[in-house]
Structure 1
Amino acid sequence: MNLRKCLGAVLIVAAAAANCNAHAGSGQKDFAAGFELIKAGKLQAAVAKFLAGLKAEPNNGQAHFYLAEAYRGLQQNDKAKTHYQKSLEVDPFGAVAQDAKDRLSQLGSGEGGQEASTPAQTAGGRAGKAAEPAPGSGWTEATTGMEFVWVPSGCFVMGSGDGDNNERPPHKVCLKGFYLGRYEVTQSQYQTLTGKNPSSFKGSNLPVESVSWGEAKSFADEMAYRSKERIRLPSEAEWEYACRSGEQNELCGRGSIENLAWYESNSGKTTHPVGQKRANAWGLHDMSGNVWEWVEDCYNSYQGAPTDGSASITGDCSRRVKRGGSWSNTPASVRSAGRSRDGPSDRIDFLGFRVARTLP
């Protein structure tokens, strides 16, 4: 295999990956350093950084994948195979799972990646598709200053076979990438667009709450009108996929509930400013706890639910789905798979929302 060609390919994916949010997990600093070393052409040193990071975060599927890419650049194909396989083992439905399978197929056939898609094509989909933004990379809406992060295309298992009945059956969902608000919509942002602040707990950087589903949807529509962007409420599948951030953790991120969520035991029976708790792997804060978040979907069983990430808007729509749990809930409600519902006109002091943006 042409080493120069492979190095160039690895450099492209490293440059994209270096933009990923570094707030989640103790291995992220090593991963970021590894990407920078790859960009500098120091692949062996990059390998050392990835291995150090994986000691702290051994189940980071994307890190195993990019370590394998570095080994491939060094023509150490046996080690590359090991880490492609490990990536699939720990994250079988993640954003890079199909790419890991493709690499294993190429290496197993003796091609050694000679005719492989470049990592730039891997990041953006198959040949001819424009590359997606790097996972966790940002976009800011001008009117409100609201920050969004990129949630990459991929597949995951939605729901839980061990949870409540309404979380079953677990089912595979494959989604296109989209932007999601880094934080819950704040009172300042809500007031900027609507001129109102219905919240029970007052504070400009506190999440807005006591808004109905219809009011949350109207806010998204108004932001879309002003920004000329496709702003909307996320679907339930998009919400859970973003919460899990390519992993299968109990909560929306790695670490203890105390580090990730405001819930009944640490909230002091009130909301808290957004962004104080640890982000997940894609840079999203407060997906577990603080306030419940409205999503687009009608509340129904997962039987026959969409598998493409779209919202379920047929059947009984007398109740709408809310996700994530709140300051008033037990740990069971702030889990990744936890789901609940309220009437679309209900306004409650533990219920808010965040918004999504679709690319054209």
Structure 2
Amino acid sequence: MLKGMVWAALLAAAAVPAIAAAPVRGADFGAIKARLTAECAADTFSGIVLVRAGGRDLFEHVCGKADIINGIANARETRFKIYSTSKFITALTVLKLVEDGRMRLDAPVTDYIADAPGEWRGVTIRMLLNHTSGIDDLTLPFIWHFRADHPSAMRGLLPALTAEQRALKSAPGTAFRYNNFGFELLADAAAKAGGQPFPALVEALVFQPAGMKSASIEAPLIEAGHLVPVSAEGLAKGYNGDPGKLDQAINWGFVQQGAGAVHASVDDFVALDAALKAGRILGPAMLAEMTRAPVDADGKTGGQAFGLGVVVNVADGVTMYGHTGGTNGYISDFERYPDDDAMLIVLTNRGNIRTAWLREGVAAALKGAR
């Protein structure tokens, strides 16, 4: 059973872009600093943590190597693969198309993807954004069809789907089921509606208006028919494993253009947060729609609720919304604390780092300074 009305009551302040409280100035991040310092010394954390409120940095911690073999340290300008935090970017792109009248939230995805199975006619853009579509997560067969680029992989996959793959796992709009492939469908639908390749749309509708100068969507790299991991100047290399036993991660972020292909730096997210507050990407009504009626995940994700491409948490009475991403060599977490005019960005190049303690610790520090 969906419980959006309950969450909507809790998130009345979060759903409104206006600031409900004065920016926090005296928050105590001593406990966070102590733990990060210890984890950096033990080589169990590598990356960047930044907290801002009221337009200024409150806390910053940088450590570890962006490239272990060549001894290149992580720095503020280092870019990271952010994986599922990309879903927040994809949602902004789709919602901008909705705001411009080029897409409709409650239109069937088949209105935009003509070769989508007829079984998906009841699935709307809104349901893809909040993971209630009922469509199976077809990421693995999608990867199998990836030979050149995202559009051709989708055109190869859809007509090849079996009856079992086409069948919905639940009635549209009735059950939460986290679905990476749903965001590949959103990328494909947005490209059709916007009349441009999806990366170009994201650049025009999000990156440029926000001033995200170093952000990009990973471009496909294919050599002799094989998918090849992307490496670029200024991009941290991802690692998995334990200290002293690290292996460089092998990943193809470009396969998941809608669900996980963005590269970005800390300052790209600083710019994004400022742009959202200034209304340079979405107007107030559409921004509020992202968190207006989030879907409760029925305990499957630790009490989180899912809005339109955004994850909503309430920790000790402090509301935050954003998105996490990663596991294959990188972990990211972008959180906005609307009642405190604050944001958190965590970018790491280790695949086994957990960030819940950071976002909850920041929530506690902000609350303690109110």
Band of TM-score, shorter chain:
under 0.3
Scaled by the length of structure 2, what TM-score is found? 0.26
- Normalising by the residue count of structure 1, what TM-score does the alignment of the two structures yield? 0.26
Judging by fraction of residues, say which structure has more strand: 2
Higher relative contact order (CA 8 A, sep 6+): 2
Which of structures 1 and 2 has the bigger CA Rg? 1
